[in-house]
């Protein structure tokens, strides 16, 4: 092919590899976002011990030597009686959540279920419960 000056121009052959390469890079970037793990992800195991009880049936059998909690994407759900606490772990390892329960027919008096704690060096320490009964979780990442 001749250019404007009458000289022969050589153009490099365009490759069809650009599009697949771009798509592969985009796919890796998207997969990296989906598969990203949270800093505190893992299974934590240990004990749950009663710290407050009104000796009602609701407060029976709180102690547990095999308590376990799984954190995924720095998030976990903890069940306490009728409450399902949805908990996010902050960058510093702290977490807290609460939910109102009761007050309806057959559900008992209204009360707030709360969890508050912190993860430090693979150890999770937290308090969970209501004004009727509470427990302390002492769990270690396994």
Whole-prediction pTM value? 0.71
What is the per-residue pLDDT for 15? 45
- Expressed as residue numbers, the domain containing 88 is 42-141
**Beta bridge partners of residue 128, listed in sequence order:** 115, 135
- 67 has a pLDDT exceeding 90: yes
Residue recorded with tokens 């270690």? 140
Classify residue 10: in a domain, yes or no.
Answer: no
DSSP for 112-136 reads EEEEEEEEETTEEEEEEE-SS-EEE
The pair phi, psi for residue 32, each rounded to 5°, is -60, -40
| Rounded CA separation 88/72 (Å) | 10
Say if residue 91's pLDDT is above 50. yes
36 within a domain of the structure (yes/no): no
Residue 22, SS3? Answer: helix
Phi, psi dihedrals of residue 30, rounded to the nearest 5°: -65, -45
Gap between the Cα atoms of 109 and 121, Å rounded: 39
Whether 20 is covered by a domain: the verdict is: no
Predicted confidence (pLDDT) at residue 137 exceeds the cutoff of 70:
yes
Tell me which H or E stretch contains 96. Answer: strand 94-101
- 23 part of a folded domain: no
Q: Is residue 4 part of a domain?
A: no
Total domains present in the chain: 1
State pLDDT tens for residues 19-51.
Answer: 343 334 334 444 444 446 789 999 999 999 999
Dist CA 128 CA 51 (whole Å) = 10
Residues whose CB falls within 8 Å of the CB of residue 100, separated by 6 or more in sequence, listed in order = 110, 111, 112, 113
Q: Which CATH number is 111's domain given?
A: 2.40.128
**What is the structure's pLDDT at 24?**
44
Whether 16 is covered by a domain: the verdict is no
Tell me if 122 is assigned to some domain: yes
More confident residue, 102 or 55: 55
**Which range, of 64-68, 93-97, 104-108, averages the lowest pLDDT?**
104-108
């Amino acid at each position: 092919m001749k250019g404007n000056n009458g000289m022969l121009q050589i153009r490099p052959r365009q490759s069809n590899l650009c599009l697949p390469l771009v798509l592969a890079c985009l796919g890796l970037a998207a997969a990296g976002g989906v598969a990203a793990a949270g800093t505190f992800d893992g299974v934590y195991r240990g004990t749950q011990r009663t710290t407050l009880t009104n000796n009602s049936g609701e407060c029976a059998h709180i102690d547990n030597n095999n308590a376990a909690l799984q954190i995924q994407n720095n998030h976990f759900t903890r069940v306490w009686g009728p409450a399902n606490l949805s908990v996010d772990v902050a960058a510093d390892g702290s977490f807290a959540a609460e939910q109102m329960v009761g007050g309806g027919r057959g559900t008992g008096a209204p009360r707030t279920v709360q969890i508050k704690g912190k993860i430090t060096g693979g150890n999770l320490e937290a308090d969970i419960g209501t004004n009727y009964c509470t427990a302390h979780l002492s769990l270690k990442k396994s």
